[in-house]
Amino acid sequence: MDIADRLTTSSTDERGPAEWGDVWSASGAMGLSGRPDGPPLPVPVALPRTMAAAADMIGEHTALAIDGPALLGERAALLGLTRNGPVSCGGGTRLLQASDDWIAISLAREDDRASVPAWLELDAMSVDDEALWSIVTREVRGRDTWTLVEQAALLGMPVARLGEVTPVARIVERLPLQGGSAPRRTRDCTIVDLSSLWAGPLCASLLGLAGARVIKVESVTRPDGARRGEPSFFDLLHAGHESVALDFAVAGHIAALRALVDRADIVIEASRPRALAQLGLAAEHTTGPKVWLTITGHGGDGGDSSRVAFGDDAAVAGGLVTIDQSGPCFCADAVADPATGVVAAAAVVDALARHDRSHIGVALSRTAAWLSGGPRTTLAGEGPTPPPRHRPIVGTAPELGADTDSVMREFGM
């Protein structure tokens, strides 16, 4: 059975909107959707239902017990974030009205803020963040969304039109790789994690809790940007893992990376295709990994494969928002990121149980689109909304490159 079928035909599907409203409330994530001066807004039933079903799949294969819906609120719990209407919980992305529709614009990175004049064809400016947002809001209002999206894509800016991604039949793309491979247990696997930020690391974190060995590989010049964020969140995702740092401008380090990848059981990567091609890495060219997981913003094929996406703008692209009479609001905290990470972990454990090698592809915006339709949850009754929560932090994440030498020696490199 395809994983999409399993995620929609599990026993969890027997509950109705009211029961899923209770589940959503109990997860603590319910309070992250809506306006700051109003009540929480309903979300698609498919969101908590699929998170619960994915958690059940992971538990069936690994005996790891997790609360799938609660995983969507972990960052908010650690950073003290809450709902903020058309402004994302983290504050770096906004839903703005363009001439023809709504558009999500992320200016969380300095590079994106610096690109605004080129994007909107304005003179260079030196203003604070609020003044910049005022200019963007004014300029966007008179322009059409598709032109804004296309121009942003050329500059590598994460911008998305509301509902631009059509829901697809499969939430996960799985392609067979050459060579047979017997089923494998998660706890017997070594993971080489090349991903960063949230979706990929969450997937690796869950598999690590299920017993897998996780080796996180980063560039010495461009390490995971999450290292600059809240340390407790980075610890949550990476405690217990090993850290290898390599210089991808050095031929010997690239050779070491290829050798390490070839000896892994699972590879997790979230790079744009061009970046991996420059290193001579591709799932179809490897013979070692049983499962190669690719996480993208908008898919690994077609014209959108090079587009940048983060959790909030990708969710908007998939139509995964909450809505009231005043318009759309963000749904939870960068929801496409953790939702994709949970689905990806379920897809990996499912692939490990098969008699072949697999290349799995999941995309943030396509996951969001798949979760956006159908009935909405019925809100829980009167009373305070439980706050978001996170899993116990089991230790401190390793410093960048802390295990490079020991891992290289162990693998004879």
pLDDT band at 126 (very low <50, low <70, confident <90, very high): confident
Q: What digits encode the pLDDT tens for the residues 295-349?
A: 999 987 776 888 999 999 999 999 999 999 999 999 999 999 999 999 999 999 9
pTM of the predicted structure, to 2 decimals: 0.95
Query: What residues does each domain of the chain span?
Result: 3-83+165-410, 93-161
CA-based nearest residue to 223, from 412, 407, 410, 397 = 397
Q: How many angstroms separate the CA atoms of 312 and 368, rounded?
A: 10
Neighbours of 382 (CB within 10 A): 5
For domain 3-83+165-410, the CATH architecture is 3-Layer(aba) Sandwich (3.40)
State mean pLDDT over 15-44.
91
Number of H helices, E strands in the chain: 15, 12
Q: How many angstroms separate the CA atoms of 312 and 321, rounded?
A: 9
Neighbours of 313 (CB within 10 A): 34
Q: What digits encode the pLDDT tens for the residues 64-84?
A: 999 999 999 999 999 999 999
Helix axes 110-120, 145-154, angle to 10 degrees: 120
Determine the pLDDT at residue 72.
98
pLDDT band at 170 (very low <50, low <70, confident <90, very high): confident
With 90 as the cut, is the pLDDT of residue 171 above it?
Answer: no
Helix axes 336-352, 199-209, angle to 10 degrees: 40
DSSP 8-state class, residue 74 = H
- The H or E element that residue 102 is part of is strand 102-106
Long-range CB pairs of 278-287 (<8 Å, 24+ gap) are 279/248, 279/254, 280/254, 281/257, 283/177, 283/359, 284/177, 284/178, 284/359, 286/177, 286/261, 286/262, 287/178, 287/179, 287/262
Q: What digits encode the pLDDT tens for the residues 297-312?
A: 998 777 688 899 999 9
State mean pLDDT over 90-117.
97
Find the DSSP H helices in 86-185: 110-120, 129-140, 145-154
Determine the pLDDT at residue 17.
78
Determine the pLDDT at residue 93.
98
Q: How many angstroms separate the CA atoms of 348 and 358, rounded?
A: 9
Q: What percent of the chain has pLDDT over 70?
A: 95
Contacts of 164 (CB under 8 A, 6+ apart): 145, 149, 317, 365
